[in-house]
Amino acid sequence: FIFNCCSGVGSPGYRGFPGPRGPTGLPGSVLMNTLNNRVLGLWKKCVSNVFLIFCMYSFFPVISYDFVRRVGHKYFVSYKKEGSFSKAVEFCSQQGLELALPQNEDENTVLTQVFDKDVKRAWINVNNNKAEGDFKADMKNKPLSFTKWAEGQPDTSFQNTGCTLLLENGMWEVTQECSVNACIVCQT
């Protein structure tokens, strides 16, 4: 719908969700509703002329996740589906997100909450190219600010690549078997 925000003429607009007003987001940003694990997309475009400003709002379909957790300004989301490392990276990218990577102990602990009797490990966003830092950087080659490697990890004896798993106990482990299934968890 179109809403004329300056002259007071036009439809009153969509009634928002109850609660205090949150921080102003940017066009294309993601809205999170953690009460029922839903993600809403909102896009806003404003056009102005000398006298009026018209704003058009579009709501994208609701995406419902099986797992949504917030730590600080970061959200971890998952359908609790499993896939290979490359499938995990591709899936998160298609959602406009990135593969999860805990930046501190709190985030690491919250991320382990995705585990249940069927889900015991999850892929995390550590660079899988050994030549690019021996597992000391993320997929964008930014140095890791937090790690929680299991004993003997990261295993840098691999020839070329290895992928990093978050285990049920919260420890990290590198595996050469990047095609094995592990939980896909994305972050905002």
The verdict on 98 and 182 lying in the same domain is: yes
Statement to judge: residues 72 and 57 lie in one domain: no
Tell me how crowded residue 162 is: count the other CB atoms within 10 A of its CB.
26
* Residue 59 and residue 74 in one domain: no
Same domain, 34 and 83: no
Q: Is the pTM of this model over 0.85?
A: no
Q: Using one digit for the tens of pLDDT, what is the confidence trace for 79-99?
A: 999 999 999 999 999 988 999
Q: Which residues, at least 6 apart from 69, have a Cβ–Cβ distance to it below 8 Å?
A: 34, 75, 76, 110, 111, 113, 114
**81 and 46 in a common domain:** no
Give the residue from 63, 83, 114 where a domain finishes.
Answer: 63
| 112 and 78 both lie in a single domain | yes
167 & 122 share domain: yes
pLDDT for residue 67 is more than 60: yes
Phi and psi based region of residue 158 (left: phi greater than 0; alpha: psi -120 to 50; beta: remaining): beta
Q: Into how many domains does the chain fold?
A: 2
Distance of CA 104 to the CA centre of its chain: 16
Over the stretch 34-44, which tens digit does the pLDDT of each residue have? Answer: 444 444 444 44
Q: Are residues 161 and 112 in the same domain?
A: yes
Asked if residue 91 and residue 15 are part of one domain, the reply reads: no
Q: Both 109 and 183 in a single domain?
A: yes
pLDDT digits (tens, 9 = 90+) for 154-175: 877 765 678 999 999 999 999 9
Give me the domain span that covers residue 124.
Answer: 65-187
Same domain, yes or no: 100 and 164: yes
31 with 71, same domain: the answer is no
